[in-house]
Structures are given as structure tokens and as C-alpha cells.
Amino acid sequence: MAEIHVSDVRKMLDKELLEVKPQDRNPHSLEVYVLPRSKGMCENTRVQAYPAAVVIGNHKRGDLYRFKLLPSYEVVSVRMVALVSLDDVPVYI
């Protein structure tokens, strides 16, 4: 199976933010590591799936991208290092 590097994911999402109107952006399927906020990180790590997420913004310095989840319109922030897969393609660092 083909894999994609995290820098290529950043380029693709940045291009989509710059060139595509917000109402015309396509939803992506995401799988993200949920990082716990307490000790024992390895024991509590899990993967959260977001089947339809539209990119709405980014913060380069924090390496964060904001996605709007459909159909609930909830906004989530995703760190690129926590991204497992994008559109069912594995992402590696």
C-alpha cells in the first residue's frame, strides 16, 4: 500500500486552503492518535476516526490544522505528528 509523507500532506492541505473556496472543499477521512493529557501515555493512546472532515484553517507554528466535522460542524484541531491516515492512505513522519 502506498504511503504519504507528512510534509506532502501539509502541502496538499495548504494548497486546498489557498486555492479552493470554503464551500467547495472536499471532505477528508482522517484517523488521528488521541494523545492523553496524563502520565502513562503508551497505555492510553487510541486512534480516533473522523469520516468526513473539511479543512478550515491552520497554524504553522504549532503545526496544527483545524477541521470542521460533517454533519455536526464541530471544529477539531489536529497536530500533524498525530495523523495516522488521510483518505485511507497511511501517513509517515
As a whole number, mean pLDDT of residues 8-30 equals 93
Give the whole-angstrom CA distance, residue 51 versus residue 72.
12
Band of pLDDT at residue 69, cut at 50, 70 and 90 = very high
Mean pLDDT, residues 14-43 taken together: 84
Report which of residues 62 and 70 the model is more confident about.
70
State the CATH class of domain 4-36+44-92. mainly beta
Give buried/exposed letters for 42-55 (b at 16+ CB in 10 A, else e): eeeeeeeebeebbb
Of 27, 63, 69, nearest to 48 by C-alpha is 69
Q: Tell me the pLDDT band of 42, cut-offs 50, 70 and 90.
A: low
